[in-house]
A and B are shown apart, each in its own frame.
Chain A
Amino acid sequence: MSKIPLQFRHNGRDVAIFVDGGTNLLVALREMIGDMTPKFGCGQGGCGTCSVLIDGELHLSCLTLAETVGGRSIETLDGMKQGPHLHPLQRAFADHFAAQCGYCTPGMLMAAKALLDRNPSPSRDEVVEAISGNICRCTGYEPIINAILAAAGGRVSA
């Protein structure tokens, strides 16, 4: 099978790779770009931990064909931190003990970022709706919801 050349922006940086037809974006990011922050959970869109932003919109990278993202802008958790400075959402997750095993955290943070980027002051119900495609086994969701609301309200530690 011939390889397909693919160029896109990955966290603000132009990247170019060759992918096999049918390769999903999660595999392309993890195995070809080397960005391990999107996680493989179920591989069929049921858990949300592979979530990334494509042109600012939340997508499940395991269900996205890599060849469809040519010329588009992909954001992953790897691009969230600015140098040594955590993103306010990351800071809020730490402050609120919103991670335990951490496996859902990359997807939760991307879902939260997608929400706050378009709605900086969400209600609790809007936060719940925004993360409803992401499964967490450890936290009971409450600390995650509180962290996102705190980040939206600017209530995060320095």
Chain B
Amino acid sequence: MTRHRGRGMASINYPIGMNLGGDPSQALVHSNPSGKFTVALSSIDLGQGMKSVTRQICAETLGVPVEDVYVDTADSDTGPHCMGSFASRGTHRVGNAVMAAAREARGVMMEAAAEELEVNAADLETDGRGNIHVKGAPHRSISTKDVAIAAQFKQGKTISGRGIFLVPLSEVNPETGEMSPATCYAHACLVAEVDVDDETGEVAMVRMDSAYELGRALNPRLVEQQLVGGAWMGVSHALYETPEPYYPDPVHGPRDFVEYLMPGPGDICPHDIAVLERPAPDGPFGAKGPGEMCANPVLPAVANAIFNAVGVRIDDLPITPEKVLRAIKAQGGARPQARR
């Protein structure tokens, strides 16, 4: 029995969102008389942080503290339309819609403040701490709360805004099939190191090193959380998970969490991540999206690492010990490739 160390890499271009139907999302922003703002979305936060990031985008655009913004998601009965939380589109598509809605709401808020301060709205600025004042004369100031009260009870204005983000639908060239399905791409490169046991066929993750270029990281901790968790899911798809191990034959399919294999806390490996920020021209504050792509490069990188370790090329996922062993046997033993 020998354990062979192998290294493999993969790099990807990942489109943010999709083209079908123009991939629209809407957002509505309004203030309450308390001066706090509510963002209404039909998008869903599955735990990836959509609420946090849209809250940041709204607060930054309005010029108010982040604590003054509440995000209400996932009610398609009462919220404006959204295509959904998938395709890494949340931050980019929904974020753009929130930004547009907040910009319109800010316009109304500044007009209402101008009326109270008896100045031109163009001469006003927000301080990001809940106040609006005359540029260069901070003592001529009004709180966003007082503006909201005046708008509601005196001026008869709703401080609100509507936003939508819609990508122009790309036509398909009938001659070549060419189209432009996405406006924004994120990029990644990942190097995986594995140990392959040529007696059992088992593959153990040793370490991963990755670099992700995903526009501006609006919330770096949330980005890191996505990349760490997503890489685990990539390992799981590469080596463990399948509902039909002998597809199309359904035999030996898992029936529960005990039989549906996934890497446990003892199967993970160190993962060093570099995040490169190159702001996207059409992203909210330059953001793209770290969603699905954080799992994707792991699969080819692991497959390449196994080839590098024992010389077998497995192109069928997941790469189970059985497949590795059969392939090693078919080629008459492990053939470690050159280390690069």
Contact = CB atoms under 8 A, between A and B. Distances in A.
Contacts of A137: 233, 262
A140 to B, nearest CB: 3
Contacts of A140: 228-233, 268
Nearest to A98: B225
Given A47-B257, A100-B48, A132 B225 contact: no
Interface in A93-124: 97, 99-102
Contacts of B268: 140-142
Interface string A39-51: 0011011110000
A56 interface: no
A127 B266 CA distance: 10
Contact of B257 (A42, A128, A143): A42
Nearest to B259: A46
A149 interface: no
Interface residues of A, number: 26
B47 A138 contact: yes
B265 A44 contact: no
A74 interface: no
Contacts of B231: 140
Interface string B15-43: 00000000000000000000000000000
Nearest to A142: B228
A135 B257 contact: yes
Interface residues of B, number: 23
A144 interface: yes
Nearest to B260: A46
A131 interface: yes
Which of B49, B228, B256, B265 has the largest count of A CB atoms less than 10 A from its CB?
B265
B232 A139 contact: yes
Contacts of B1: none
Contacts of A151: none
Given A99-B47, A101-B46, A128-B266, A44 B228 contact: no
B47 A135 contact: no
A145 interface: yes
Given A141-B232, A144-B265, A100 B225 contact: yes
Contacts of B228: 139-140, 142-143
B224 interface: yes
Contact of A46 (B48, B49, B229, B258): B258
Contacts of B271: 142
Contacts of B49: 100
B117 interface: no
A45 B257 CA distance: 9
Nearest to A102: B47
Contacts of B262: 135, 137
A131 B265 contact: yes
Given A41-B257, A42-B257, A139-B225, A101 B265 contact: no
A138 B46 CA distance: 10
A59 to B, nearest CB: 17
Given A100-B47, A100-B48, A128-B266, A139 B257 contact: no
B74 interface: no
Contacts of B222: 97
Nearest to A134: B265
A89 B137 CA distance: 48
A97 B225 contact: yes
B139 interface: no
Nearest to B262: A135
Interface string A71-92: 0000000000000000000000
B264 A132 contact: yes
Interface string B144-156: 0000000000000
29 contacts: A41-B257, A42-B257, A44-B258, A45-B258, A46-B257, A97-B222, A97-B225, A127-B265, A128-B266, A129-B266, A132-B264, A135-B257, A135-B262, A137-B233, A138-B229, A139-B229, A139-B232, A140-B230, A140-B232, A140-B233, A141-B232, A141-B264, A141-B268, A142-B228, A142-B268, A142-B271, A143-B225, A143-B228, A145-B265
Given A47-B257, A135-B264, 14 more contacts: A44-B256, A46-B258, A101-B46, A101-B47, A127-B265, A128-B265, A132-B264, A132-B265, A140-B231, A141-B264, A141-B265, A142-B232, A143-B225, A144-B265
In the A-B complex, the 9 residue pairs with the smallest Cβ-Cβ separation, listed nearest first, are A140-B232, A100-B47, A46-B257, A101-B47, A141-B265, A46-B258, A140-B229, A97-B225, A128-B265
